[in-house]
Amino acid sequence: MERKVVFPQKLLPYLLLAPQIAITLVFFFWPAGQAIWMSTLLQDPFGFSVQFVGLENFQAVLQDPAYLSTMQRTFLFSFGVTALSMIPALLLAVMADRVVRGATAYKTILVVPYAIAPAVAGALWLFLFQPSIGTIAYPLRLIGIDWNPRIDGTDAMIVVLIASAWKQIGYNFLFFLAGLQSIPKSLIEAAAIDGAREIRRFWTIVFPLLSPTTFFLLIVNLTYAFFDTFGVIHAVTQGGPGKSTEVLIYKAWYDGLIAQDLGRSSAQAVILMFIVIGLTVIQFRYIERKVHY
Amino acid sequence: MAEVSLSRVRKVYPGGVEAVKDIDIAIPDGALCVLVGPSGCGKSTLLRMIAGLETITEGDCRIGAGRVNDLDPSDRDIAMVFQNYALYPHMTVYDNMAYGLRNRGTPKDEIEARVQEAARILEISPFLDRKPRALSGGQRQRVAMGRAIVRKPQVFLFDEPLSNLDAKLRIQMRVEIKKLQRALGVTSVYVTHDQLEAMTLADILVVMSKGHVEQQGSPLDLYEKPASTFVASFIGAPPMNLIPVGAGENGPQAPGLTGGRGLAVPAGGATLGVRPEHMIVATGPVPDDALGITFPVSAVEAVGAETFVYGPIGGTGQEIIARLPGKALLAPGTPVSVAAAAEHLHLFATDTGKRLGP
């Protein structure tokens, strides 16, 4: 039985919630509403006339081969970032879980990248891969790998992938570590006595028991890669060379604010909104029900 | 099947805490050895050292002929039942039991046969498809047992396996564990803090205190000839009465005490021990070699089959307990005289607590 907390006053709960509701309304609902409204409008380049066009913007966007290839690229990029940030994070967490001395210092250092602003993280990796003097690019060139994110689309993509993933490792690391530490030690010991060696123990006991954490992080990282990597991409490649590192969020920004096509940009924003709603629904549904043991 | 032997085993934790001090225990093939003692006495540490979950600082641990000090737990051919059962929550009961066999590459049909057999013995066949969280405490306990027996290991290790069960279930499982262990004939080491559990299960009882062995032997030996006041007060419930006595001309001397001739109390005094259940109400004169105690009754607990009588002895304020058969009609405040026969008297040194005499 759930016990209900009953406030004697009717007004108080609303007052307590008011600041949060106000923020949500002003910064989330209002812009979202505006985006939806604008996605149904067609503006002339000089802003003199506005015409209601219904779903035509969506139709145009979804039939645009450039948009579809950006979407494909975005999915590749997002899953790439997710894998590249989660796998090393899990590895580090497993290592850190075994450290006894100096564990706190170790953890702190590993979490630091999360506190770095996206643009700064991007700039950092931009320097490292800077073709002529970059700390990584230079030795690579010496051994014959001509790494140039300025002109090669794939090279550029790898740089933004690494930069975006690197920033997220600390966050994933923390969650994985907490997940690992919540697994009862006696289970690991029981498995050891049951004849499972370290690697087998990991795959048959530890990893399955971590699955709620893993699934949670999967969704969080996908969301991050979809929406929060704008800063990194903007700092490192501006979506280029060509359009080779342009992801959906970058294209929406570019089409609206640089190309000044507000209607189509808004339509893209609305599509992104549905993607994030979809991810959130999956997260709530499945984390609550499916991924349990 | 194998004997287990520990010789001069020590465990020192980094930082210098000595959890286990110089322990020698030899458990013959098929015997059930119970390690008992208060919490913090090192009994669980010792068990975990046999399991390979704790390193052995010094000494040898042997299972069968081989020294296992440096073997991984998985190579020691042991099975362990944990206090919290440590069932794998994401696996079904069947998979929980099959896990250890699969790790060792047992053929599938043999796994099937062994799991079914263990499930039948433990009466958990209907639950094989369930996850542990859908089981009651007693059922989980059985699964944990099942996981141990399917492997047919050389040694069973039990780490307080019954302490999470309610009193009734605990007694029932205690009997079953004993029967199962007998039937399978697997050498076992069992850790508990419950002296009754220890007494009823053990072939060899090892009483531990502060990291060392106080006494080991058959449960009845320990009951009849406790080697120290620690063992005397730990084994038996209610515990043995321990009364400080001085050396008199003809035996022990203390207020309220008579008789006891023949007990060689050293000049500096000693501790006299007598079990509550060895006292009877004295109706006539007490023989010289028996012990007579007269004390005012302060409380009476009648539980039907027997009656516990409490009272302070002669001015010292020390309370003693007499466990009298049947319904002893005594009223609080009235004095009572009880007597214990000579063969039921124990004498311990005051300073070391060690047993004096035979």
Give the distance from residue B73's alpha carbon to the nearest chain A alpha carbon, in angstroms: 5
Asked whether the beta carbons of residue A189 and residue B53 sit closer than 8 angstroms, the reply is yes
> Taking an 8 Å Cβ-Cβ cutoff, which residues of chain A contact chain B?
184, 186-187, 189-197, 200, 204-205, 208-209, 211, 293
Q: What is the mean pLDDT of residues A246-263?
A: 78
Q: What is the pLDDT of residue A136?
A: 81
Q: Over the stretch A219-246, which tens digit does the pLDDT of each residue have?
A: 889 888 888 888 888 887 777 777 778 8
Q: Which residue among B73, B84, B99 places its CB closest to the CB of A186?
A: B84
Test the B interface: residue of A186, A194, A197, A206 with most B CBs within 10 Å: A194
pLDDT greater than 70 at residue A293? no
Residues in A touching B72 (Cβ below 8 Å): 192, 197
Residues in A touching B84 (Cβ below 8 Å): 184, 186
3-class DSSP assignment, residue A292: coil
**Banded model confidence at residue A187, pLDDT cuts 50, 70, 90:** very high
Q: What is chain A's mean pLDDT, rounded? A: 82
Q: What is the pLDDT of residue A289?
A: 58
Q: Over the stretch A79-108, which tens digit does the pLDDT of each residue have?
A: 999 999 999 999 988 888 887 677 788 888
Residues in B touching A209 (Cβ below 8 Å): 89-90
Preceding amide of A241 cis, omega within 30: yes
**Banded model confidence at residue A7, pLDDT cuts 50, 70, 90:** low
Q: How many CB pairs under 8 A join A and B?
A: 64
Asked whether the beta carbons of residue B74 and residue A192 sit closer than 8 angstroms, the reply is yes
Average the pLDDT over each of A162-176, A189-203, A231-245 and give the range with the smallest value: A231-245
Q: Which residue among B51, B52, B103 places its CB closest to the CB of A200?
A: B103
Contacts of A157 (CB under 8 A, 6+ apart): A77, A244, A245
Asked whether the beta carbons of residue A194 and residue B86 sit closer than 8 angstroms, the reply is no
Preceding amide of B238 cis, omega within 30: yes
Asked whether the beta carbons of residue A187 and residue B90 sit closer than 8 angstroms, the reply is no
Per DSSP bridges, beta strands B319-325 and B306-312 are antiparallel
Test the A interface: residue of B88, B102, B145 with most A CBs within 10 Å: B88
Asked whether the beta carbons of residue A193 and residue B84 sit closer than 8 angstroms, the reply is no
Q: Which residue among A186, A195, A211 places its CB closest to the CB of B86?
A: A186
> Taking an 8 Å Cβ-Cβ cutoff, which residues of chain B contact chain A?
51-53, 72-74, 76, 78-80, 82-84, 86-90, 99-100, 103-104, 131, 147, 151
- The answer to the question of residue A1 being in a domain is no
Give the distance from residue A60's alpha carbon to the nearest chain B alpha carbon, in angstroms: 48
Q: Do the beta carbons of residue B255 and residue B314 sit within 8 Å?
A: yes
- The answer to the question of residue A231 being in a domain is yes
Taking CA–CA distances from A196, the nearest residue in chain B reads: B103
- The answer to the question of residue A105 being in a domain is yes
**Banded model confidence at residue A2, pLDDT cuts 50, 70, 90:** low
d(CA B330, CA B310): 11
pLDDT greater than 90 at residue A276? no
Residues of chain B with pLDDT under 50: none
Residues in A touching B103 (Cβ below 8 Å): 194-196, 200
Q: What is the mean pLDDT of residues A26-39?
A: 86
d(CA A251, CA A265): 8
Q: What percent of chain A is modeled with pLDDT above 70?
A: 94
Taking CA–CA distances from B51, the nearest residue in chain A reads: A193
d(CA A50, CA A61): 19
Residues in B touching A192 (Cβ below 8 Å): 52-53, 72-74
pTM score: 0.79
Residue whose structure tokens are 């396996």: B161
Q: Convert chain B into a string of H (helix), E (strand) and C (coil).
A: CCCEEEEEEEEECCCCCEEEEEEEEEECCCCEEEEECCCCCCHHHHHHHHHCCCCCCEEEEEECCEECCCCCHHHCCEEEECCCCCCCCCCCHHHHHHHHHHHCCCCHHHHHHHHHHHHHHHCCHHHCCCCHHHCCHHHHHHHHHHHHHCCCCCEEEEECCCCCCCHHHHHHHHHHHHHHHHHHCCEEEEEECCHHHHHHHCCEEEEEECCEEEEEECHHHHHHCCCEHHHHHHCCCCCCEEEEEEECCCCEECCCEEECCCCCCCCCCEEEEECHHHCEECCCCCCCCCEEEEEECCEEEECCCEEEEEEECCCCCCEEEEEEECCCCCCCCCEEEEEECHHHEEEEECCCCEEECC
Test the A interface: residue of B49, B76, B99 with most A CBs within 10 Å: B99
pLDDT greater than 80 at residue A260? no
- The answer to the question of residue A271 being in a domain is yes
Residues in A touching B89 (Cβ below 8 Å): 187, 209, 293
Q: What is the mean pLDDT of residues A189-200?
A: 89
- The answer to the question of residue A16 being in a domain is no
Asked whether the beta carbons of residue A194 and residue B89 sit closer than 8 angstroms, the reply is no
Give the distance from residue A211's alpha carbon to the nearest chain B alpha carbon, in angstroms: 10
Q: Which residue among B76, B80, B90 places its CB closest to the CB of A190?
A: B80
- The answer to the question of residue A51 being in a domain is no
Residues in A touching B74 (Cβ below 8 Å): 192-197
Q: Do the beta carbons of residue B98 and residue B150 sit within 8 Å?
A: yes
Q: Which residue among A195, A205, A209 places its CB closest to the CB of B104?
A: A195
pLDDT greater than 80 at residue A43? no
Residue A85 belongs to what domain range? Answer: 65-292
Q: What is the pLDDT of residue B111?
A: 92
- The answer to the question of residue A9 being in a domain is no
Asked whether the beta carbons of residue B151 and residue A194 sit closer than 8 angstroms, the reply is yes
Q: What is the pLDDT of residue B1?
A: 64
Q: Which residue among B73, B86, B151 places its CB closest to the CB of A187?
A: B86
- The answer to the question of residue A30 being in a domain is no
| Cα distances (angstroms) measured from residue B318 to each of A3, A74, A236, B267, B335 | 51, 83, 84, 22, 15
Other C-beta atoms closer than 10 Å to the C-beta of B182 total: 12
Q: What is the pLDDT of residue B95?
A: 92
d(CA A211, CA A288): 13
Joined tokens for residue B157: 């290790």
pLDDT greater than 70 at residue A278? yes
Taking CA–CA distances from B53, the nearest residue in chain A reads: A189
Which one, of A272, A285, A230, A268, lies nearest residue A58 by Cα? A268
CATH classification at residue A182: 1.10.3720.10
Give the distance from residue A178's alpha carbon to the nearest chain B alpha carbon, in angstroms: 18
Give the distance from residue A180's alpha carbon to the nearest chain B alpha carbon, in angstroms: 15
Asked whether the beta carbons of residue A186 and residue B90 sit closer than 8 angstroms, the reply is no
**Banded model confidence at residue A70, pLDDT cuts 50, 70, 90:** confident
Contacts of B250 (CB under 8 A, 6+ apart): B260, B261, B288
Asked whether the beta carbons of residue A204 and residue B74 sit closer than 8 angstroms, the reply is no
Asked whether the beta carbons of residue B90 and residue A189 sit closer than 8 angstroms, the reply is no
Looking at the structure of chain A, the number of domains it has is: 1
Backbone angles phi, psi at B328, to 5 degrees: -85, 120
Taking CA–CA distances from A210, the nearest residue in chain B reads: B90
Joined tokens for residue A278: 């979809």
Q: What is the pLDDT of residue A1?
A: 47
